[in-house]
Structure 1
């Protein structure tokens, strides 16, 4: 799958994650955004950064998209996640507002 088939700003976000760009990762979210990682919720920049430092960007994660679906303000990307922390097929559901993410929910793919 090419990045052109993934709507913005999610495509940019995935490229940022795969480049392990910590600042770009955090700047992709609105100030009140949240990450729901298999039921554990991290809200706001500080909590998201703390989680990401260990389990996402800090673990050198790479997402290889395999499927994508989109509607209004929601994009779901199912793909292979590989990192130094966790690995496996996962579903990433994003909600957006303008060019920012308001949420990212990670579940079993």
Structure 2
């Protein structure tokens, strides 16, 4: 399956260290959950980005992606100065933006 554009842009912005482009991939009222730590809205996503993503120089690579019931499930390989390894991300999209991201 081809990676949907919002998810592709999410990865590209992270890898480029471009926080502005990263935040632009999310809806204004986005929800992000990282192993039970919940973040709401772009301000919340920005906090997570600083502490767990671009702020720790993460580099992402999509291993595989599949769509089930309107949710895109991506297996992602992560390297950087934070978490290193593979993990699962579930994206719910709203048009060309990410409405929800659940990391587990």
Q: Secondary structure at the match of 2:48?
A: helix
Quick check: 1:50 aligned with 2:21?
no
Quick check: 1:73 aligned with 2:34?
no
Cα distance in 1 for residues equivalent to 2:20 and 2:103: 21
State the Cα RMSD in Å.
1.5
Match of 1:89 in 2: 86
Residue 43 (structure 1) shift: 0.4
Residue 71 (structure 1) shift: 3.8
Q: Unpaired segments of 5 or more residues in structure 2?
A: none
Following TM superposition, the consecutive aligned residue runs of length 4 or more in structure 1 with deviations greater than 4 angstroms are none
Cα distance in 1 for residues equivalent to 2:68 and 2:9: 18
Q: Secondary structure at the match of 1:10?
A: helix
Match of 2:3 in 1: 6
Cα distance in 2 for residues equivalent to 1:88 and 1:62: 11
Match of 1:98 in 2: 95
Residue 20 (structure 1) shift: 1.3
Distance 1:46-1:8 versus aligned 2 partners, 3 A rule: same
